[in-house]
């Protein structure tokens, strides 16, 4: 069993090293830079975890030499959560507090030798992987319905579902041990699951067309004006024409609470076909961003119209489909860099 364990750990370390080697020199769009950095950091952290969780290290070394590896291994849970967000949230950006949180978790894990067995510190260390596994699941479930990239939708269950299951199993194996160390069978199970999950993800990573984990190459974003594109597939073309009619003449985007499922039902088409038209032929990655883009386009036109200078901003926000002024102001400033009132003042002054 020891030889099998060593072989699996060697294979896992080699695979993680290959992922790092392939990712580092890649030229990539700016949007994928954060994703690649997190993938490299997570892979390096998992290499340390693979070594520090081996039966020989846990059984032959005293606590203090193991402490740095334990801290870095615990920090993998934070990196996994950030990695999941970078994969599935187009607007995700690393913040300073993300780094502070990771460092705090690593330092906490590195002080393991100061705690008594089964004390509060030990309990918190076991809780951290579960908490961040659940946060990873939230990153997957939250935007699932509005994600328009089919390959990324399929990857959600693999990356975060599999990662969350691994995190829970890892904690369960240690909780089942009297001293918190993995048995030989537990260690073998741990490294086997991690190798399987890493191999599945790396299988998508290490293909020439990959622009990051499951993020397919996308067409340039089309103008937000709801015009029907020319599509080769007759059924897709029918959906594109119906979508342009509903979003243009009928101002379908102004319906508050408009969802992808509701729109697919309104157009009498399967959701997957509607996602494909909006993503591959209109160039949008997220349904909510697509709809809000249409709303903001009309809002900017009306705010710049001298004949509507007396119309309150709130009335315009509600009329274009926003449920309240708060989300409208935030979306407008994120899009233009100014508030709706400032935009109106500038536009009317220029006119």
Common-topology check for domains 2-205 and 234-350: no
Per-residue pLDDT reduced to its tens digit, 249-297:
899 999 888 888 899 999 999 988 898 888 888 888 888 889 999 999 9
Beta-bridge partner residues of 147:
286
Q: What confidence score (pLDDT) does residue 103 get?
A: 96
**Which candidate, 71, 15, 77, 83, places its Cα nearest to that of 47?**
15
Mean pLDDT, residues 214-223: 43
Highest mean pLDDT among 184-188, 192-196, 215-219: 192-196
Each domain of the chain, given as residue ranges in start order, spans 2-205, 234-350
Q: What confidence score (pLDDT) does residue 142 get?
A: 66
Q: What confidence score (pLDDT) does residue 279 get?
A: 85
Percentage of the chain beyond pLDDT 70 is 78
Q: Model pTM greater than 0.75?
A: no
Residue at token pair 């009619």: 245
Q: What confidence score (pLDDT) does residue 75 get?
A: 94
Which range has the worst mean pLDDT, 68-82, 132-146, 200-214?
A: 200-214
Which SS3 state, helix, strand or coil, does residue 275 take? helix
Mean pLDDT, residues 230-258: 85
The overall average pLDDT reported for the chain is 80
Which range has the worst mean pLDDT, 30-34, 103-107, 289-293?
A: 30-34
Confidence of residue 319 (pLDDT cuts 50, 70, 90): very high
Q: Is the pLDDT of residue 175 over 70?
A: no
Q: Is the pLDDT of residue 199 over 80?
A: yes
**Which candidate, 260, 312, 308, places its Cα nearest to that of 286?**
260
Q: What confidence score (pLDDT) does residue 219 get?
A: 43
Q: What confidence score (pLDDT) does residue 217 get?
A: 42
Confidence of residue 205 (pLDDT cuts 50, 70, 90): low
Which two three-digit tokens encode residue 305? 């119209």
Q: What confidence score (pLDDT) does residue 115 get?
A: 66
Q: What confidence score (pLDDT) does residue 181 get?
A: 66
Options 2.70.180.20, 1.10.287.610, 3.40.50.1220, 1.10.10.60; CATH of 234-350: 1.10.10.60
Mean pLDDT, residues 238-243: 89
Q: What confidence score (pLDDT) does residue 230 get?
A: 60
Q: Please give the CATH topology (third level) of the domain spanning 2-205.
A: Rhopdopsin 7-helix transmembrane proteins (1.20.1070)
CA distance 70 to 121: 13
Backbone angles phi, psi at 328, to 5 degrees: -65, -45
Confidence of residue 96 (pLDDT cuts 50, 70, 90): very high
Q: What confidence score (pLDDT) does residue 249 get?
A: 85
Which SS3 state, helix, strand or coil, does residue 286 take? strand
Task: Please list, in sequence order, all residues whose beta carbon lies within 8 angstroms of the beta carbon of residue 278, skipping any fewer than 6 positions away.
Answer: 148, 243, 284, 287, 290
CA distance 125 to 146: 35
Q: What confidence score (pLDDT) does residue 229 get?
A: 56
């Amino acid at each position: 069993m020891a030889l099998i364990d060593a072989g699996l750990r060697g294979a896992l370390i080699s695979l993680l090293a290959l992922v790092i080697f392939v990712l580092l020199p890649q030229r990539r769009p700016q949007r994928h830079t954060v994703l690649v950095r997190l993938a490299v950091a997570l892979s390096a952290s998992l290499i340390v975890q693979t070594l520090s969780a081996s039966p020989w290290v846990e059984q032959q070394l005293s606590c203090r030499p193991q402490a740095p590896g334990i801290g870095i291994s615990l920090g993998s849970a934070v990196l996994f959560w950030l990695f999941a967000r970078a994969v599935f949230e187009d607007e995700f950006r690393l913040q300073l507090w993300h780094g502070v949180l990771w460092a705090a978790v690593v330092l906490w894990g590195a002080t393991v030798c100061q705690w008594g067995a089964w004390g509060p510190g030990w309990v918190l260390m076991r809780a951290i992987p579960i908490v961040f596994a659940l946060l990873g699941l939230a990153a997957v479930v939250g935007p699932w319905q509005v994600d328009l990239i089919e390959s990324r939708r399929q990857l959600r269950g693999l990356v975060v579902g599999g990662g969350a299951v691994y995190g829970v199993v890892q904690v369960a194996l240690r909780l089942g041990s009297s001293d918190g160390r993995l048995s030989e069978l537990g260690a073998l199970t741990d490294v086997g699951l991690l190798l399987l999950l890493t191999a599945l993800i790396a299988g998508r990573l290490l293909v020439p067309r990959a622009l990051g984990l499951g993020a397919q190459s996308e067409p340039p974003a089309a103008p937000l004006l709801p015009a029907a594109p020319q599509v080769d597939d007759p059924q897709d073309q029918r959906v594109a024409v119906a979508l342009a009619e509903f979003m243009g003449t009928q101002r379908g985007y102004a319906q508050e609470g408009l969802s992808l499922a509701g729109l697919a039902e309104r157009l009498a088409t399967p959701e997957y076909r509607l996602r494909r038209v909006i993503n591959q032929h209109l160039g949008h990655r997220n349904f909510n961003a697509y709809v809000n883009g249409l709303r903001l386009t009309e809002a900017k036109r009306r705010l710049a119209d001298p004949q509507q200078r007396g119309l309150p901003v709130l009335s315009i926000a509600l009329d274009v489909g926003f449920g309240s002024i708060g989300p409208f102001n935030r979306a407008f400033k994120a899009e233009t860099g100014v508030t709706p009132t400032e935009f109106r003042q500038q536009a009317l002054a220029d006119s």
